[in-house]
Amino acid sequence: MNLLLAYLLACFFIGSLPFGELFSRIKVGKSLIKAGTRTTIAPAAMFESLGIPLGVTVCMLDFCKGFLTAYPLAIYFLGQNPYQHWGWVSLGGLLTVIGHCNSPFLGFKGGRGLAPTFGVMATLLPIPAIFAFLIGLWLAFWGLSTKPGALSAAGAMPLLSIIWVLAIKPQDLYYLYIVAFMSLWTFWEHRDELKSYMGIKGKVIASTQTTTDDS
């Protein structure tokens, strides 16, 4: 039980490491957290602020949070076959994303959790995750905004995972729960954008978000 608790605490700690905020304050001397909110600026604005090489580095480090907690850290704490404890690995992945979005180092503020979420999903169900990533990437370039790509990838991941598990790897059935939860978490973190796409919040907020994306 002590090892399980240590594993879960380590997952939350690793997820809460604010790489983007740290690099931003070192390079440009300002925060990535949007004023008056608990979340970071849009990825496009982050890349513009940090530059593409450093922006990509931040995304890769955030991706590695999910990979590290779902694979090598799981092996270290849970044994050579950690996925027989799929529930604990899934909970560790969730805590990684929750730590990323609610970092105690930032006063329980943080990012939207997409990169560490993809890190966990790519470790547990790599093939569906790759296809979901490609769909999201294509739609991001097509729509000239990362937000449609992120939401589309979050929606595609459960559907692709269901097909993969039922047709190819039925032994991974339990991972569908974690995929479903993480997809819902992504939608929740992007709920304002999702509402604006659906026309719920009206034209004023939609136009404001468009300006943010284009900046």
pLDDT of residue 152: 77
Give the per-residue pLDDT at 8: 95
Instruction: Please report, for residues 12, 150, 154, 215, the alpha-carbon distance to residue 188 in angstroms, rounded to integers and kept in the order given.
Output: 19, 12, 11, 24
Q: Which stretch of 46-50, 54-58, 89-93 has the lowest confidence by average pLDDT? A: 46-50
The reported pTM is 0.80
Residue reference for tokens 């992007």: 190
Compute the average pLDDT of residues 33-56: 83
Dihedral sign (CA 53, 139, 211, 35)? negative
Q: Where are the domains of the chain?
A: 2-214
In this structure, the number of other CB atoms found within 10 A of the CB of residue 193 comes to: 23
What digits encode the pLDDT tens for the residues 141-169?
765 555 666 677 777 888 888 998 888 88
Distance CA 175, CA 37 (A): 32
Banded pLDDT at 209 (limits 50, 70, 90): very low
Above 50 in pLDDT, residue 210?
A: no
Q: Is the pLDDT of residue 75 over 50?
A: yes
Q: Kindly provide the b/e burial profile for residues 16-47, where b requires at least 16 CB atoms within 10 angstroms of the residue's own CB.
A: bbbbbbebbeeeeeebbbeeeeebbbbbbbbb
Please report the pLDDT score of residue 197 as a whole number.
61
Collapsing DSSP states into helix, strand and coil, what is residue 110?
Answer: strand
